[in-house]
Amino acid sequence: MRVCIVGGSIGGLTAALVLEESGHTVDVFERSPQVLAQRGAGIGLLPETSRYLTDVAGVDIDEISIATSSIRYLARDASVEHEVGHAYRFSSWNTVYGRLLGCINRESYHLGHEMVSWEDQGDSVTVSFADGTSCTADLLVCADGVASSSRERMHPGLAPRYSGYVAWRGMVREADLDRQVLARLDDAITYHVYANSHILVYPIPGPGGETAPGDRSMNFVWYRNYLEGGDLTDLLTGRDGIVRDVSLPPGTVADRHVSEMRAHAAARLPGPIASIVCAAAEPFVQVVYDLDIPSMVSGRACLLGDAAFLGRPHAAAGTAKAADDAWALASALDSCPTVDEALSGYEASQILVGRGLIERTERIGRRSQTENSWVPGDPDLIFGLRGPGQ
């Protein structure tokens, strides 16, 4: 078949590569006029996310990620209050995206194409773009992210629900950190949990994808509550005066909020973790949302990744869910006699995955941000797409 994919991030690229591997002809249309960049934001690298790169492209997992062997909790005085052996892998959005982009036929990856509409003809679909061009295909895959216009078309008025908190994020090169700080955070994902908040720190590849000790970066994710309305709107009003609703990219957070965040870190967080937060040159903000949808398919169009379900980041499964959707779609198309049957099977399986992820991550978020019932060592807190460690 010919497949049109709208959205050229990790989910869209994975879908393109997996579907091409199954023999389909694929074109990816990305609305950004230039190659995407998120300046190295860290991700937990679950097997679903790395599957194409390791199993098909033959990439060594150690080239794109960093292994840690412990889950560690620090008390306010920086002493270790809990530690258990558990293997994780961490990478950065840029590293994974760059490797996937390097695998794709660049002639089929079209930048500067914003979808404005599509018309379903029953056995095909025609997609129209803002520049006046169009694409007719047998299948439209909508991988256009958190603010998906495709989702809005399928489910008018169905909007993401604000969780009550945001994630402050930032990175610092290991070479710029004190050795004692690195020693306290080495070979682990390190947490600190306190009243109505928690923060985690873990190593990720450096800005150029470097994975050798000393060349890597330390990444933090700090969940903080902001009241919807005035407080949240004030936070999301950037230096340029523009109010954003999904995220504030690096360099756009107002100085007063960065100063407040650093002062709070110095006053409330363990010293090694606070030093990471305060040293991050351009911290940025991502709003945490939930979204469940009743269906993922409409005619010859289907939703994938964050364009469908939005789960909180606490399972480290955002990119994994998008990649898993891509593999599930390819498998359904391979095994079903008709496209309609394939899309029905894809929807049935991936709705269960999405809803299960939302339920679990909502529960985890409540434990730290409102209930104060987060218990270090609770197995339910282990990362995984389908469940703890799964």
Provide the domain limits for residue 254.
71-88+162-289
Backbone angles phi, psi at 371, to 5 degrees: -85, -20
Same domain? For 276 and 295 the reply is no
Please check whether residues 216 and 79 belong to one and the same domain.
Answer: yes
Token readout for 373 is 């019932």
Residues 46 and 195 in one domain: no
384 domain residue, yes or no: no
Instruction: Flag whether 376 is in a domain.
Output: no
Inside any domain, residue 216: yes
Strands annotated E in 108-257: 109-110, 115-120, 125-129, 134-137, 139-142, 161-173, 188-194, 197-204, 217-225, 247-248
Same domain flag for 275 and 231: yes
Residue 380 placed within a domain: no
Q: Are residues 225 and 357 in the same domain?
A: no
pLDDT recorded at residue 34: 87
How many domains is the chain partitioned into structurally? 2
Judge if 139 and 206 occupy the same domain: no
327 and 263 in a single domain? The answer is no
Q: Assess whether 108 and 13 both reside in one domain.
A: yes
Q: What is the CATH number of the domain that holds 170?
A: 3.30.9.60
DSSP state of 141: E
HSE toward the beta carbon, residue 250, CA cutoff 13 A: 13
Could you list the mean pLDDT of each consecutive 10-residue stretch along the chain, which spans 390 residues? 96 98 97 81 96 97 98 97 97 95 94 95 95 96 95 94 97 94 95 97 95 95 96 96 93 96 97 97 96 96 96 96 98 96 97 96 96 95 96
Rounded alpha-carbon distances, angstroms, from residue 298 to 108, 141, 295, 385: 24, 11, 8, 25
What does the alpha-carbon distance between residue 130 and residue 33 come to, in Å, rounded to a whole number?
12
- Residue 40: its pLDDT value, please? 67
Residues 6 or more apart whose CB falls under 8 angstroms from that of 77 comprise: 270
Q: What is the pLDDT of residue 39?
A: 65
8 A C-beta contact, residue 90 and residue 203: yes
Q: Is residue 16 part of a domain?
A: yes
389 belongs to a structural domain? no
Collect all residues with Cβ–Cβ distance below 8 Å to 211 and sequence separation of at least 6.
62, 63, 64, 65, 66, 205
Q: What is the pTM of this model?
A: 0.95
| 341 and 356 inside one domain | yes
Among the candidates 289, 307, 338, a domain finishes at 289
Rounded Cα distance between 94 and 322, Å, is 16
Radius of gyration of the chain (CA): 21
Residues 177 and 48 in one domain: no
CATH number at residue 150: 3.50.50.60
Burial environment of residue 310 by CB neighbours within 10 A (0 to 12, 13 to 18, 19 or more) = buried
| Same domain, residue pair 215 and 80 | yes
